[in-house]
Structure 1
Amino acid sequence: MKPMQAHEIAGNWGTVMLPIREDDSIDFVRLEQLVDRMAALGLNGIYTNGTAGEFYTQSEEEFIRVSELTADRCHRYGMPFQIGASHMSPQLSLERIKRAAAYRPSAIQVVLSDWFPLQDDEAADCLKRMAEAADGIGLVLYNPPHAKRVLTPEAYGKLKKEVPGLVGIKCAGGDAAWYAAMKEYAHGISIFVPGHHLATGIALGAHGAYSNVACLQPLGAQRWYDTMLTDLPKALELESRIQRFMANHIAPFIMQHGYCNAACDKLMSVIGGVADVGCRMRWPYRSIPASEAERLRPVACELIPEIMNASA
């Protein structure tokens, strides 16, 4: 499988979440079943070790097992895949990138070191070293709203000039002016935005999503993305209902009850019922009770049946 160029990184990508046992260990039997199922669904791609994959809790041995398992299944199915090699330590991230490159993924996902926010020259130096470690495989930079430094379109453009191997980003997106600035400064970078904003993003110039909607129902999210390419007004109408569901029934867990984003991603996977992941988060993060998924499933089925009722 060849590494992807920026223009090839597009669409609906589903995340590999970790099934966690009562003793806080990863259930690799269930994980293998999950990856097998996702790799066979026909998504645009899947990826490991993002926020919902709880990369920040994994030992290096666990990182290797998750990466190897995913790479093996995706190569078998011919499924594009990316490996998240992020780590709070830039030194450990470099080692993860070197390991990830050996699996020949479509791209490798990274974060900038941010215990102290990096200045422009430090950020460029960080990504240059990461690109060298990636051995010709493109980098996708995670720059979420909770990053200590949220990059501007101009900053992305500077990084792209310094690091040609930067092929994609995951970010919050923005308004029409933000997309216009990205078009001016950040040519050659694939823009991935939050899943529940994807139709609007596609209309303005985004390329895809590492999708929270795919956490809920990966095949439903894929069919929604396919609709964006053929009937954008229809996709935008569905987006309005997806956003209503997120705002009214998912966001309160974060805004009012203080759960982390990944806990909501796992909750949505249980609501959708496609993957045997469960709501359990790894210590020290709190888990949303599974009873909330039972409560919200009929709400989701009524509000967004096109997502919830998709089947292979």
Structure 2
Amino acid sequence: MTGKLERVSAWGPLRGNWATLLLPIGEDGSIDMARLGDEIDAAIAARVDGIYSNGTAGELHNQTEAEFDAIQHLLADKCAAAHMPFVIGACQPDPTLALHRLKRTASLKPNGFQVILPDWWPLNDLEVIDFLAMASDAAGETPLILYNPPHAKRVLGPAELARVLQTAPRFVGVKLADGDATWYAEAAAHLDAWALFVPGHHLATGVKAGVAAGAFSNVACLNPRGAQLWTDMMRTDIDAAFDIERRICAFMDEHIVPFRRDHGYSNAALDKLLAAIGNWAPVGTRLRRPYRWIDEAEAERLRPVAQRMIPEIMLAR
């Protein structure tokens, strides 16, 4: 299978299966840095394509600047020692803080930075272009990835993304939600120049369409090694990988999405539930208050269900 997953370009290692950091939170609400270090070690041992910090699952919105710095330094130290690619999520709804995060951590030499658009008030196109320019200046020579999730106040379609990204050559990719066949046709028409990171549980669809370069993956939350083996399969047997995707989506739709749809839990809570189901690192399901988390008993209940439905992901070592 050819396509963006295998393209060698200015994207460097920014492709494939990326595991996210999930913050282990103690009962007192503090970040357990020792457990976080163990989690990074486990992701490195899983031989994922890369590790990234401070996405939604990393509770980017609920940490101090000192905590942000400590997380990035720990990630950078461990990844540099293991020659593991890493991306720093400099994501912050406040643009000033986001730019300061870029400037402070550029010396850690990540393979990329991920940023979000300012979120208190939705930006118009001129403001988006200005923010991308500001982020590019702050990041120096480090490539940038725009994180434009479906819950952002300004969600850009493929043509809009192409229009603004053309003004900001330091931006090499976008993490975004995909859509139906029409969306994929528009993405192929407008966004071929950029690395697109689709939702992890839709990665085979994105690769088969020739659109996806990879995923900052919720499937890696469940089991980073299983997600990596599945991603590697897409290069040699896309039809088998697509069958696994069908079962991953069935597991998500039947057993994970209801926690958000019916009970109002956040996406971060769902990602931590996945990690607890996979039981590959000492993350736990606790979020920082006031955000609610899912009882770990639910992970115990769902683990055998996941092992039965998607053994290729769950049982990988």
Task: Note the 1:1-312 alignment, pairs <5 A.
Answer: 5-6=10-11, 8-204=13-209, 205-311=211-317
Q: Distance in 2 between matches of 1:54 and 1:80?
A: 21
How far 1:199 moved relative to its partner? 0.4
Of 38-47 and 210-219, more deviation after overlay is shown by: 38-47
**1:116-166 deviations in whole A, cap 9, x for unaligned?**
111111100001000100001111111111011110111111122110011
Work out whether residues 43 and 222 of structure 1, in 8 Å CA contact, stay in contact via their aligned partners in 2: yes
Q: Distance in 2 between matches of 1:147 and 1:196?
A: 20
Work out whether residues 13 and 111 of structure 2, in 8 Å CA contact, stay in contact via their aligned partners in 1: no
What residue ranges of structure 1 are gaps of 5+ in the alignment?
A: none
Query: In the superposition, relative to structure 1, how do residues 195 and 9 fare at CA in structure 2: closer, same or farther (>3 Å)?
Result: same
Give me the TM-score of the superposition, normalised by structure 1: 0.96
How far 1:7 moved relative to its partner? 6.0
**1:157-200 deviations in whole A, cap 9, x for unaligned?**
11221100111111111223322322332232100011111100
How far 1:5 moved relative to its partner? 2.9
Q: In structure 2, the residue corresponding to 1:182 is in which secondary structure?
A: helix
Work out whether residues 95 and 118 of structure 2, in 8 Å CA contact, stay in contact via their aligned partners in 1: yes
Between 1 and 2, higher relative CO (CA 8 Å, sep ≥ 6) is seen in: 2
Of 6-15 and 295-304, more deviation after overlay is shown by: 6-15
Q: Distance in 2 between matches of 1:179 and 1:102?
A: 37
Work out whether residues 19 and 217 of structure 2, in 8 Å CA contact, stay in contact via their aligned partners in 1: yes
**1:224-266 deviations in whole A, cap 9, x for unaligned?**
0111111000001111110000000000000000000010110
**1:277-311 deviations in whole A, cap 9, x for unaligned?**
00101111001000000100010011111111000
Work out whether residues 144 and 150 of structure 1, in 8 Å CA contact, stay in contact via their aligned partners in 2: yes
2:3 match? none
Letter in 1 for 2:196: I
Q: Distance in 2 between matches of 1:269 and 1:286?
A: 16
Q: Distance in 2 between matches of 1:279 and 1:150?
A: 29
Letter in 2 for 1:295: R
What residue ranges of structure 2 are gaps of 5+ in the alignment?
A: 1-8
Percent of matched pairs sharing the same residue:
51
How far 1:22 moved relative to its partner? 0.3
Work out whether residues 100 and 108 of structure 1, in 8 Å CA contact, stay in contact via their aligned partners in 2: no
Query: In the superposition, relative to structure 1, how do residues 159 and 6 fare at CA in structure 2: closer, same or farther (>3 Å)?
Result: farther
Work out whether residues 42 and 280 of structure 2, in 8 Å CA contact, stay in contact via their aligned partners in 1: no
Letter in 2 for 1:248: E
**1:54-98 deviations in whole A, cap 9, x for unaligned?**
111110100000000000000110000000001111000000011
Q: Where do 4+ consecutive residues of structure 1 move more than 6 Å?
A: none
Work out whether residues 197 and 214 of structure 2, in 8 Å CA contact, stay in contact via their aligned partners in 1: yes
Work out whether residues 157 and 187 of structure 1, in 8 Å CA contact, stay in contact via their aligned partners in 2: no
Q: Distance in 1 between matches of 2:10 and 2:281?
A: 30
Q: In structure 1, the residue corresponding to 2:17 is in which secondary structure?
A: strand
Give me the TM-score of the superposition, normalised by structure 2: 0.95
Q: In structure 1, the residue corresponding to 2:308 is in which secondary structure?
A: helix
